[in-house]
């Protein structure tokens, strides 16, 4: 039996993010168009005879115990299936932390998949997604990946036609945004406009990159942009530099711009670094066909 496995945990952006209401349990009802991008963390899982879960990471400020989502994901499956022995997890993070790119959720999704394969549990993708939502609303999408419409609290997923080929510039300013803070301060009933989610879905079906770009929207910007003006500056810089459009991803603060040409995206990225707006800057592509995950 294989004793170790290495997986890639890809980040995501939101082409559209709308909040339609708040449920009695405190969760928000959302409609989002999610897209996997080619920035990823590397996760190596290794079986051990001695019991326990040990995590190491390249970022010293990350928790490595029960507070970490990947610890919780491994523990959930190992306890449910009464797995004997233990697990060592090495996490090399490249996706910015607390950045609106679902890095933590993607890492947890990869651990669900890795434990399933490593210990021959035989769980389907659907079964993994059902377990993943217990730990976080984004985890089922991070197991599915690609282009998808997310509804409910984000757990109801409908695969969509792939995003047209393009280049995506990612830039995270040197601030961290609390998702809890953003949703707590979102005034759903006062929103004057909502993103055209159906329009984005329609344009994806037509393979119309320009049509998608003109419809980008994220209602969470109504909370984050006034508090973190760096987000607006990054958006303006990308559009001025030639992006078809720019938007904050998730609850922020990462901003992405859509470009047709890689060299232009790279040039704008260099300007952003030089101007001190962001140090974590990457040019990537949308990923629609990624390595098999689950079954």
148 - beta bridge partners? 34, 159
Contact between 272 and 236 under an 8 Å Cβ cutoff? The reply is no
Residue 122 CB-density burial (10 A; 0-12 exposed, 13-18 middle, 19+ buried)? exposed
Indicate which residues carry an active-site annotation. Answer: 12, 138
28 - beta bridge partners? 22
């Amino acid at each position: 039996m294989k004793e170790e496995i290495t997986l890639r945990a890809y980040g995501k952006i939101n082409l559209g993010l709308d909040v339609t209401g708040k449920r009695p349990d405190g969760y928000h009802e959302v409609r989002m168009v999610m897209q996997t991008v080619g920035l990823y963390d590397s996760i190596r899982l290794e079986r051990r005879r001695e019991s326990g879960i040990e995590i190491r990471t390249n970022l010293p400020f990350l928790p490595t115990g029960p507070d970490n989502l990947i610890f919780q994901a491994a523990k959930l499956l190992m306890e449910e299936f009464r797995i004997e022995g233990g697990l060592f997890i090495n996490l090399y993070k490249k996706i910015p932390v607390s950045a609106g790119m679902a890095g933590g959720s993607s890492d947890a999704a990869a651990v669900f998949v890795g434990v399933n394969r490593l210990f021959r549990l035989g769980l389907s993708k659907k079964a993994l997604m059902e377990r993943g939502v217990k730990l976080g609303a984004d985890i089922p999408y991070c197991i599915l990946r690609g282009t998808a419409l997310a509804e409910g609290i984000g757990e109801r997923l409908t695969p969509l036609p792939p995003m047209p080929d393009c280049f995506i510039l990612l830039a995270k300013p040197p601030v961290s945004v609390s998702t809890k803070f953003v949703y707590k301060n979102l005034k759903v009933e006062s929103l004057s406009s909502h993103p055209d989610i159906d329009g984005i879905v329609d344009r994806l079906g037509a393979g119309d990159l320009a049509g998608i770009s003109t419809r980008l929207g994220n209602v969470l910007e109504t909370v984050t942009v006034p508090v973190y003006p760096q987000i607006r500056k990054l958006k303006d810089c990308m559009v001025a530099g030639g992006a078809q459009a720019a938007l904050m991803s998730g609850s922020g603060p990462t901003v992405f711009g859509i470009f047709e040409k890689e060299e232009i995206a790279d040039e704008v990225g260099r300007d952003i670094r030089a101007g001190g707006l962001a140090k974590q800057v990457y040019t990537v592509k949308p990923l629609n066909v990624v390595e098999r995950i689950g079954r």
